[in-house]
């Protein structure tokens, strides 16, 4: 899945969306007009929707789907569906479901970074989309 950023937190037209109210003061490190490869999708029971993407700051991040237009909606064959006890739904690569994956990735735990690089390369190849190396 590939998306194009159409807005960011400073866009007043999005401030009326109830799922974005708590996000007003957060910077998602996205550039309007730029394409992003989607690493996963989360749909919460309250209707809010988020994507996982590689941010301009060089990190795996999550932002409201409302900030993006879907350019290529093809779902990755590497994603797995999970319905959580809260009724939230995620479509993520299997490695994202490992205990403490996101924490370990942000802390640059070597084996987790290696696993992320592997899935990043697979997703990029699948979507014919190349991004800068992780932890560059």
Q: Torsion angle of alpha carbons 18, 83, 77, 29, nearest 10°?
A: 30
- The model's pLDDT over 69-114, given as tens digits with 9 standing for 90+, comes to 999 999 999 999 999 999 999 999 999 999 999 999 999 999 999 9
Residue 83: its H or E element: strand 79-83
Q: What is the pLDDT of residue 70?
A: 96
pTM over 0.85: no
């Amino acid at each position: 899945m590939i998306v194009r950023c159409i807005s960011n937190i400073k866009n007043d037209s999005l401030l009326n969306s109830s799922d974005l109210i708590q996000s007003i003061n957060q910077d998602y490190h996205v550039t309007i007009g730029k394409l992003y490869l989607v690493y996963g999708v989360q749909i919460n029971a309250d209707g809010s929707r988020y994507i996982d993407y590689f941010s301009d700051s060089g990190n795996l991040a999550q932002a409201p789907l409302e900030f993006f237009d879907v350019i290529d909606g093809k779902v990755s064959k590497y994603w797995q569906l999970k319905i959580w006890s809260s009724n939230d739904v995620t479509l993520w690569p299997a490695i994202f479901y490992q205990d403490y994956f996101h924490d370990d990735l942000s802390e640059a735990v070597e084996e987790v970074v290696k696993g992320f690089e592997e899935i990043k390369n697979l997703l990029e190849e699948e979507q014919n989309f190349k991004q800068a190396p992780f932890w560059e």
